[in-house]
């Protein structure tokens, strides 16, 4: 098993004719992801990598069975496109787009919530269940099938840790990047809950970073509801205060959002705090050896 | 984009929120005819203006130009005072706090009111000195009547109708201007009704594409009173680069914020010191790579450059192209350590190999090498 996606998942790609959409469709298809249709307004009737392109989500849904969607749509059109997807009863959407106006983001998230749909993102690199399905931009060669569930805010950090695990012979059940914030559809807590329920996931790796209070809230949940081992790496201890280093959410304001506060909360919840990526490997081996 | 108080108040006026009458005094103006009493307020974008002595009352008993010159001589948290807003003085019976912003944890707009406004809302909230109420707003429904009634009751507001109109106006500004914050602190209750004593409006730069004209107008107003350097900093960004200057000797470039933060931690762990940090954003190209390298290398204290690339969206063939261009243009000898992997890495690595530039696959090794080199030099 895996979470959110599996080898039968049928995928719709939004913004499939753009530069990123096209390249990532090619890479996902090569990985074995079952991409059945694409949408770009005005490009209906074309094909990308053998995938039929439609003008509207409705047309794609009428012609194909679709489980999930992934969006590469640029910021000005992101809201429209996300609502069109949700409106057509697609229950899971990976939103890779960054820099969407905040007023649009809160509407996208609220609309999905009202319709009972899940949104991963915005600014998400997506997720990969090695050997089964890749819905996003995770570099395929950095992952292998296994039993570690990884959740990260940052896409790049989830590649980094995936690569380290794989190079050390440790496979993953699913690796999920939720996005750099400051707004999120699915949170660390939501993903960890899915990992807790997933039979195939034996241990959970939580990659957090400075800013906001999400890790603290996740820690409360872990303490109450999670009995699988959780190993956490929190990055940004050495970052200067009051400055955003890329992710809008990764900023220390006053006492809020420091690495120390997150580490303390997670440690208190029973998670192991890794010093760096190599330490994650060592800890997994230690637990497996028991 | 943060707006000055005088800009925020212009917007308030347009939406019917009462403000004091007044006018702007520029450093370049000399000898305006002033009639006391006046409140003279430094126009800066940083907080803590009142505590720093940036607000003065002129009652006519002293020379106004002395007070004005003193204010223009002020630097508040590194920001020079370049304009003063002169306002009529009003009698304040009571002050309250009012703002609409986003609750980031819950991804929803939120109305925040406090029973006493003033300079230290954050501090008094922390110390529980006053009561603060949060009301979440549905982004589709907007603010509802019962929600306004709720806060009006909590704040003991007598003039409900006037209060309601102000809250509705604040929400309207929040929506129509794509603001991330509209704050009135304090909102004064005076014998003549409500008056917004201060105005803080922050706009979302990401919404620029639908407010091109407005953003240009507001920026021109800002540039008129700012230093060239500050004005430059407030220019819209043409790329996704985040640049932060620090005090060490290693220049760091990353193509992801998370790995960037992680790299800074690793450098710290290995005893290195970062001079500056450049995050290119997840979707980038060879020009952004070139620009980032130039920015990092232009700092004289940089003794080694560490480039950490792990491409998902980002293509390594594009990155290699940017690095090669930089190598060609660079006229000083700064050692560069590159970690490259991810999308199109075969082509990227091949390009680097042809140009005899070593590339590392392991982040640890690249970090160690860069730290060691900086220490040697």
The CATH number linked to A143 is 3.40.50.261
Average pLDDT of the segment spanning B176-194: 96
In a domain, A266, yes or no: yes
Give the class (CATH, top level) of B21-88: alpha beta
The whole-angstrom separation of Cα A2 and Cα A134 is: 11
A43 and A102 in a single domain? The answer is yes
Q: Write out chain B residues lying below 8 Å of A243, CB-based.
A: 244
Give the chain B residue whose CA is nearest to the CA of A214: B105
Same domain, A169 and A73: no
Q: Which domain holds residue A25?
A: 10-120
The whole-number average pLDDT for the span A6-33 is: 96
Q: Of B364, B376, B317, which Cα lies nearest the Cα of B341?
A: B317
**Residues A268, A144 share a domain:** yes
Contacts for B62-71: CB closer than 8 Å, 24+ residues apart: B64/B34, B64/B36, B64/B38, B64/B40, B65/B31, B67/B40, B68/B25, B68/B40, B71/B40, B71/B42
Q: Could you tell me where the beta strands, DSSP code E, fall in A40-162? A: 47-48, 51-54, 68-71, 92-95, 118-120, 126-129, 133-136, 145-152
Whether B262 sits inside 8 A of A277 (CB atoms) is yes
Closest CA to B108 of A120, A106, A134: A106
Indicate the average pLDDT of chain A. 95
Same domain, A178 and A205: yes
Q: How far is A224 from chain B (nearest CA, A)?
A: 20
Give the span between the Cα atoms of B9 and B74, in whole angstroms: 23
Segment 132-191 of chain A within 8 Å of chain B by CB: 136-139, 142, 152-160, 163, 180-185
Q: Is residue A127, in this structure, part of any structural domain at all? A: no
| Chain B residue whose CA is closest to A21 | B313
How far does B258 lie from chain A, in Å, by closest CA? 5
Claim to verify: residue A25 and residue A158 sit in the same structural domain: no
Which of A59, A91, A120 terminates a domain? The answer is A120
Residue A71 included in any domain: yes
B12 to chain A nearest CA, in Å? 20
| Among candidates B246, B262, B315 on the partner chain, residue whose Cβ is nearest the Cβ of A160 | B262
Q: Which helix (H) or strand (E) holds B242?
A: strand B242-245
Per-residue burial over B139-163, b if 16 or more Cβ lie within 10 Å, else e, is beeebeeebbeebbeebebeeeeeb
Q: Are residues A110 and A145 in the same domain?
A: no
Q: Tell me: do A157 and A276 sit in the same domain.
A: yes
pLDDT digits (tens, 9 = 90+) for A176-197: 999 998 999 999 999 999 999 9
pLDDT band at B237 (very low <50, low <70, confident <90, very high): low
| A159 and A264 in a common domain | yes
Q: Can you give the pLDDT at residue A19?
A: 92
- The verdict on a CB contact (< 8 Å) between B140 and A107 is yes
φ, ψ of residue B80 in degrees (nearest 5): -75, 140
Do A143 and A30 lie in one domain? The reply is: no
Does residue A257 sit within a domain?
yes
* Rounded distance between C-alpha atoms, residue A167 and residue B351, angstroms: 24
pLDDT on residue B344: 92
Residue A103 contacts B where some CB pair is shorter than 8 Å: yes
Task: Check residue A64 and report its DSSP letter.
Answer: S
Q: What is the pLDDT of residue B132?
A: 87
Q: pLDDT tens digits, residue range B313-365?
A: 899 999 999 999 999 988 778 999 999 999 999 999 999 999 999 999 999 99
B38-62 per-position pLDDT tens digit: 999 999 998 888 889 999 999 989 8
ipTM: 0.92
Size of the A and B interface in Cβ pairs below 8 Å: 179
Interatomic CA distance for residues B133 and B147, integer angstroms? 11
In which band, very low, low, confident or very high, does the pLDDT at B120 lie, cut at 50, 70 and 90? Answer: low
Q: Which residues in A164-193 are b (16+ Cβ under 10 Å) and which e?
A: bbbeeebebbbbbbbbbbbbbbbbbbbbbb
Q: Which chain B residues have a beta carbon less than 8 Å from that of A249? A: 104
For chain A, positions 45-74, list CB contacts with chain B under 8 A: none
Is B242 a residue whose pLDDT tops 60? yes
Q: Could you tell me if A145 and A186 lie in one domain? A: yes
Overall number of domains in chain A = 2
State how far residue B189 is from chain A, nearest Cα, in angstroms: 31
- Same domain for A179 and A285, yes or no, is yes
Q: Give the pLDDT confidence of A34-88 residue by residue, as tens digits.
A: 999 999 999 999 999 999 999 999 999 999 999 999 999 999 999 999 999 999 9
Q: What is the CATH number of domain B94-203?
A: 3.30.470.20
What residues of A are in contact with residue B250 (Cβ under 8 Å)?
A: none
> What CATH number did the domain enclosing A84 receive?
3.40.50.720
* Under 8 Å between Cβ of A101 and A107: no
Domain range list for chain B: 21-88, 94-203, 242-376
Catalytic residues of A: 247
Specify the range with the lowest mean pLDDT, choosing from B122-126, B198-202, B362-366.
B122-126
CATH of domain B242-376: 3.40.50.261
With CB atoms and an 8 Å threshold, state whether A182 touches B138: no
Write down the pLDDT at residue B111. Answer: 96
């Amino acid at each position: 098993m895996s979470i959110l996606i599996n080898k039968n998942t049928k995928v719709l790609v939004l913004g499939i004719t753009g530069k990123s959409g096209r390249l990532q469709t090619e890479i996902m298809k090569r990985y074995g992801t079952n991409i059945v249709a694409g949408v770009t307004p005005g490009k209906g009737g074309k094909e990308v990598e053998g995938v039929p392109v439609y003008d509207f989500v409705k047309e794609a849904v009428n012609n194909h069975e679709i489980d999930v969607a992934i969006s590469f749509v640029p910021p000005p059109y992101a809201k429209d496109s996300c609502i069109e997807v949700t409106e057509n009863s697609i229950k899971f959407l990976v939103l890779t787009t960054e820099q969407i106006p905040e007023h649009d983001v809160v509407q996208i998230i609220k609309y999905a919530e009202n319709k009972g749909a899940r949104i991963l993102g915005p600014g998400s690199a997506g997720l990969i269940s090695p050997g089964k399905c890749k819905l996003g931009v995770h570099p395929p060669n950095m992952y292998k099938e296994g039993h570690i569930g990884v959740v990260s805010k940052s896409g790049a950090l989830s590649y980094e840790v995936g690569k380290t695990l794989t190079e050390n012979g440790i496979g993953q059940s699913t690796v999920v990047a939720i996005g750099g914030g400051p707004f999120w559809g699915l949170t660390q807590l939501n993903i960890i809950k899915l990992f807790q329920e997933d039979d195939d996931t034996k241990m959970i790796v939580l990659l957090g970073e400075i800013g906001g209070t999400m890790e603290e809230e996740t820690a409360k949940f872990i303490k109450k509801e999670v009995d699988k081992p959780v190993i956490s790496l929190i990055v940004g201890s050495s970052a200067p205060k009051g400055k955003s280093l890329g992710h809008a959410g990764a900023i220390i304001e006053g006492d809020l959002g420091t690495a120390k506060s997150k580490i303390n909360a997670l440690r208190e919840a029973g998670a192991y705090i890794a010093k760096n990526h190599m330490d994650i490997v060592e800890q997994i081996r230690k637990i497996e050896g028991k | 984009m943060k707006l000055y108080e005088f800009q925020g108040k212009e917007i308030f006026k347009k939406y019917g929120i009462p403000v004091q009458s007044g006018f702007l005094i520029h450093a370049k103006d000399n000898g305006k005819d002033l009639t006391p009493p006046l409140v003279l307020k430094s126009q800066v974008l940083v907080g803590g203006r009142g505590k720093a002595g940036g607000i003065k009352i002129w009652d006519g008993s002293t020379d106004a130009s002395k007070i004005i010159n003193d204010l223009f001589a002020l630097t508040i948290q590194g920001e020079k005072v370049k304009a003063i807003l002169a306002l009529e003085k009003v009698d304040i019976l009571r002050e309250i706090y009012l703002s609409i912003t986003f609750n980031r944890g819950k991804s929803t707009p939120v109305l925040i009111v406090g029973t006493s406004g003033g300079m230290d809302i954050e501090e008094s909230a922390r110390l529980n000195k006053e009561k603060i109420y949060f009301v979440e707003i549905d982004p589709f429904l907007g603010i509802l009547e019962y929600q306004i009634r709720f806060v009006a009751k909590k704040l003991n507001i007598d003039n409900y109708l006037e209060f309601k109109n102000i809250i509705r106006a604040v929400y309207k500004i929040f929506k129509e201007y794509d603001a991330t914050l509209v704050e009135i602190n304090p909102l004064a209750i005076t014998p003549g009704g409500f008056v917004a004593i201060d105005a803080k409006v922050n706009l979302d730069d990401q919404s620029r594409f639908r407010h091109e004209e407005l953003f240009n107008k507001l920026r021109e107003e800002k540039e008129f009173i700012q230093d060239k350097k500050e004005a430059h900093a407030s220019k819209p960004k043409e790329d996704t680069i985040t640049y932060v200057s620090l005090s060490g000797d290693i220049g760091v470039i990353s193509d992801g914020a998370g790995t960037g933060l992680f790299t800074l931690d690793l450098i710290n762990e290995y005893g290195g010191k970062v001079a500056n940090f450049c995050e290119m954003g997840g979707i980038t190209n060879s020009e952004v790579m070139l620009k980032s390298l130039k920015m990092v290398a232009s700092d004289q204290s940089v003794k080694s450059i560490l480039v950490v690339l792990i491409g998902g969206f980002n293509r390594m063939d594009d990155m290699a192209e940017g690095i090669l261009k930089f190598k060609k243009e660079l006229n000083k000898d700064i050692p560069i350590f590159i970690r490259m992997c991810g999308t199109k890495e075969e082509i990227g690595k091949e390009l680097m190999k042809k140009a005899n530039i070593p590339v590392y696959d392991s982040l640890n090794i690249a970090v160690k090498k860069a730290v060691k080199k900086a220490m040697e030099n």
